[in-house]
Structure 1
Amino acid sequence: MPLTPLDIHNKEFSRRIRGYDEDEVNEFLDQVIKDYEIVIRENKELHNQLLTLQEKLDHFSNIEETLSKTIIVAQEAADEVKNNAKKEAQLIVKEAEKNADRIVNESLSKSRKIALEVEELKKQASIYRARFRTLVEAQLDLLSQDGWDSLDSSRDRNEDTERQREVKELY
């Protein structure tokens, strides 16, 4: 067990002849006690500082460990989010491709239908024109026949006779 300032203060030396000067020894011991007390006080302060710093070091070590774990967890979460986003993007692209294919196929089908309808309408228009031409030609043939002149004169006579009857009925 180390010496304390009280041990030094209470220390008694035996007396001999031709020994050391007692006052000088006491003065020296007093000086040693003062210096020793200062050293002990400084030692306690340094010890307290060491404990405080050790507590801070432990605290910061815990924070560092927590931050490391948090960074690892955050990195794992980021990787998972990234992977999920890639998968979702791939699904969206596949769905968009399917929709695009469907739209293209529908458009092609509609285009074919419309082309067929246009062809059908062209055929119908051609048939209509041919029939109309035939009708008009038949009508022209009818008009160019000789019998129309006699119809015109008999019709004029019939109209005159008809008018005369109407006039007689009025009077």
Structure 2
Amino acid sequence: MKLSPLDIRHHEFPGKFGGYDRPSVRQFLTDVAEELEELLQERQAMQERTQELERRIEEMKTQEDEIRRTLVAAERMGHDLRETAARESEVILAQANVFRDAIHNDAQARSTELEAAHQSRISALELAFRGRFADLEREQHQLILERERAQAERMADLERIFSDRHSDLTARLASARQEYAQFLSGYRALVSSFGELSARHILPEESAPLERPTLPTTPLPTIEPGLPELPAAPEARGPDVQGPDAQVPPRIEEQQFL
């Protein structure tokens, strides 16, 4: 008896006292029906898959025959191609040898031509270098001459400026010496007069030692920077008030200012 899932779901059992629980039996029948339905679907799918595989096997058998025929034809074509390739390779090899010889000859000719052009270029560059080097030597010599001329002119200007400045400073120094001598002479005369006046107006019992007047320092004319400066005027004392520690004013030598 062949049952379907629908038959199992709707199957009715006769009632009997003390029988099985109806809901449990119904649930079991439902589960069995679903399981059977799944199995039937799987079997149907397997049958369809089997049919598909059988169809593909037939197709593959047909393709196998075609492949065999194709292989035979390919072997025949391969043999023909090998023979044709051998003949063509011999022809290509011969052409390549001819082309190689032509390239070799052309390369040799080109190399000879380039070598000649290279030597010519080297000669031209050497001549240009020698000419340029000679020009540079002349320019350098001219620059050296111009520099020496400029240095000589500069030295002459400096010597002239130094000579003018030396003459000016010498004149100023002579004037300063003269002014200093005049000042010293006047100061000594003033100190001498002061001593005489003091001796006349002071009584013998009231006489006291005179204070030693100090010679005020008078700055000499300023000498411009870069040359020796004149020494400051020393303190001079009169002939009547000079003590044991009095110093004679130093003599100004001309060598100090040259």
Shorter-chain TM-score above 0.5: yes
Counterpart residue identity of residue 132, structure 1: Y
> What residue is the counterpart of 2:120 in the other structure?
65
Question: RCO higher in 1 or 2 (8 Å CA, sep ≥ 6)?
Answer: 1
Structure 1 residue 107 displacement after superposition: 1.4
TM-score (norm 1): 0.55
Provide the C-alpha distance between the structure 1 equivalents of 2:134 and 2:187, rounded to a whole number of angstroms.
77
Tell me if 1:112 matches 2:167. yes
Instruction: Give the CA RMSD over aligned residues.
Output: 2.6
Structure 1 residue 139 displacement after superposition: 0.9
Provide the C-alpha distance between the structure 2 equivalents of 1:83 and 1:64, rounded to a whole number of angstroms.
29
Counterpart residue identity of residue 139, structure 1: F
Counterpart residue identity of residue 114, structure 1: L
TM-score (norm 2): 0.38
Structure 1 residue 136 displacement after superposition: 0.8
Structure 1 residue 48 displacement after superposition: 6.6
Structure 1 residue 148 displacement after superposition: 3.8
Counterpart residue identity of residue 140, structure 2: A
Q: Which runs of 5+ in 1 are unaligned?
A: 1-40, 153-171
Q: Of residues 111, 115, 123 in structure 1, which corresponds to 2:178?
A: 123
Query: Which consecutive segments of 4 or more residues in structure 1 shift more than 6 A?
Result: none
Provide the C-alpha distance between the structure 2 equivalents of 1:121 and 1:133, rounded to a whole number of angstroms.
18
Q: Over residues 78-126 of structure 1, what are the superposed CA-to-partner deviations in whole Å (9 max), with x where a residue is unaligned?
A: 1111111111111111001111111122112212222222211111111
Matches within 5 A, 1:1-171: 45=101, 49-145=104-200, 147-149=201-203
Percent identity of paired positions between Structure 1 and Structure 2? 5
Structure 1 residue 50 displacement after superposition: 4.9
Provide the C-alpha distance between the structure 1 equivalents of 2:103 and 2:175, rounded to a whole number of angstroms.
105
Structure 1 residue 49 displacement after superposition: 4.9
Counterpart residue identity of residue 90, structure 1: L
Greater per-residue helix proportion:
1
Q: Which runs of 5+ in 2 are unaligned?
A: 1-96, 207-258
Structure 1 residue 52 displacement after superposition: 3.2
Provide the C-alpha distance between the structure 2 equivalents of 1:77 and 1:48, rounded to a whole number of angstroms.
42
Q: Over residues 122-161 of structure 1, what are the superposed CA-to-partner deviations in whole Å (9 max), with x where a residue is unaligned?
A: 111110010001111111111122x443xx8xxxxxxxxx
> What residue is the counterpart of 1:162 in the other structure?
none
Provide the C-alpha distance between the structure 2 equivalents of 1:62 and 1:83, rounded to a whole number of angstroms.
31
Counterpart residue identity of residue 56, structure 1: S
> Residue 191 of structure 2 aligns to a residue in which SS?
helix
Provide the C-alpha distance between the structure 1 equivalents of 2:165 and 2:159, rounded to a whole number of angstroms.
10
How many residues of Structure 1 are paired with residues of Structure 2 in the alignment? 108
